[in-house]
Amino acid sequence: MRTTLTIEKDVAAILSRLRESRRSSLKSIVNEALRLGLQGMTSRAKPRKPYRGPSWNLGKCLLPSLDSIGDVLDFLDDSDREKSR
Protein backbone atom coordinates (compact mmCIF):
# COMPACT_ATOMS: atom_id res chain seq x y z
CA MET A 1 0.00 0.00 0.00
CA ARG A 2 1.32 3.38 -0.91
CA THR A 3 0.38 6.44 1.17
CA THR A 4 1.67 9.85 2.22
CA LEU A 5 2.42 10.52 5.87
CA THR A 6 3.32 13.72 7.64
CA ILE A 7 5.98 12.78 10.19
CA GLU A 8 6.64 15.15 13.06
CA LYS A 9 10.18 16.48 13.52
CA ASP A 10 11.00 14.52 16.68
CA VAL A 11 9.89 11.23 15.09
CA ALA A 12 11.74 12.04 11.87
CA ALA A 13 14.95 12.62 13.83
CA ILE A 14 14.65 9.24 15.54
CA LEU A 15 13.90 7.53 12.23
CA SER A 16 16.90 9.20 10.64
CA ARG A 17 19.23 8.07 13.45
CA LEU A 18 17.92 4.51 13.25
CA ARG A 19 18.25 4.46 9.47
CA GLU A 20 21.87 5.58 9.68
CA SER A 21 22.85 3.25 12.53
CA ARG A 22 21.22 0.20 10.93
CA ARG A 23 22.14 1.18 7.37
CA SER A 24 18.63 0.37 6.31
CA SER A 25 15.96 2.06 4.20
CA LEU A 26 13.43 4.45 5.63
CA LYS A 27 10.69 2.13 4.38
CA SER A 28 11.96 -0.85 6.39
CA ILE A 29 12.53 1.23 9.54
CA VAL A 30 9.02 2.74 9.38
CA ASN A 31 7.42 -0.66 8.72
CA GLU A 32 9.28 -2.24 11.65
CA ALA A 33 8.31 0.64 13.95
CA LEU A 34 4.68 0.40 12.88
CA ARG A 35 4.63 -3.38 13.40
CA LEU A 36 6.09 -3.07 16.89
CA GLY A 37 3.84 -0.16 17.82
CA LEU A 38 0.67 -1.79 16.51
CA GLN A 39 1.56 -5.05 18.23
CA GLY A 40 1.93 -3.18 21.52
CA MET A 41 -1.31 -1.29 20.98
CA THR A 42 -3.37 -4.40 20.21
CA SER A 43 -1.95 -6.88 22.71
CA ARG A 44 -3.26 -7.20 26.23
CA ALA A 45 -1.17 -5.81 29.03
CA LYS A 46 0.55 -8.42 31.19
CA PRO A 47 -1.00 -8.63 34.64
CA ARG A 48 1.23 -7.04 37.23
CA LYS A 49 1.87 -8.26 40.72
CA PRO A 50 0.18 -5.80 43.12
CA TYR A 51 2.57 -3.52 44.99
CA ARG A 52 2.64 -4.16 48.71
CA GLY A 53 4.28 -1.43 50.72
CA PRO A 54 5.73 -1.89 54.17
CA SER A 55 3.39 -1.54 57.13
CA TRP A 56 3.88 -0.57 60.76
CA ASN A 57 1.84 -1.19 63.86
CA LEU A 58 0.84 2.22 65.19
CA GLY A 59 -0.80 0.86 68.31
CA LYS A 60 -4.35 1.22 69.54
CA CYS A 61 -6.50 3.98 68.07
CA LEU A 62 -6.86 6.81 70.59
CA LEU A 63 -10.23 7.90 69.20
CA PRO A 64 -13.40 6.17 70.39
CA SER A 65 -14.71 5.54 66.84
CA LEU A 66 -13.81 6.57 63.31
CA ASP A 67 -17.28 5.78 61.96
CA SER A 68 -18.71 9.25 62.47
CA ILE A 69 -16.80 12.42 61.59
CA GLY A 70 -18.97 14.31 64.08
CA ASP A 71 -17.84 12.04 66.93
CA VAL A 72 -14.21 12.47 65.90
CA LEU A 73 -14.53 16.26 65.78
CA ASP A 74 -16.27 16.31 69.18
CA PHE A 75 -13.51 14.16 70.67
CA LEU A 76 -10.80 16.43 69.24
CA ASP A 77 -12.65 19.55 70.41
CA ASP A 78 -12.91 18.12 73.94
CA SER A 79 -9.22 17.20 73.99
CA ASP A 80 -8.27 20.74 72.84
CA ARG A 81 -10.29 22.20 75.73
CA GLU A 82 -8.53 19.93 78.23
CA LYS A 83 -5.10 20.99 76.90
CA SER A 84 -5.93 24.68 77.27
CA ARG A 85 -6.83 24.32 80.97
Name the nearest CA neighbour of 3 among 38, 19, 27, 35: 27
Helix pair angle (9-22, 26-42), 10° resolution: 120
Q: Global pTM?
A: 0.50
pLDDT 10s digits, 54-78: 999 988 887 777 888 888 888 888 8
Name the nearest CA neighbour of 78 among 58, 61, 64: 64
The one-character DSSP state at 79 is: H
User: Does pLDDT of 79 surpass 70?
Assistant: yes
Listed by start position, the domains of the chain span 9-42
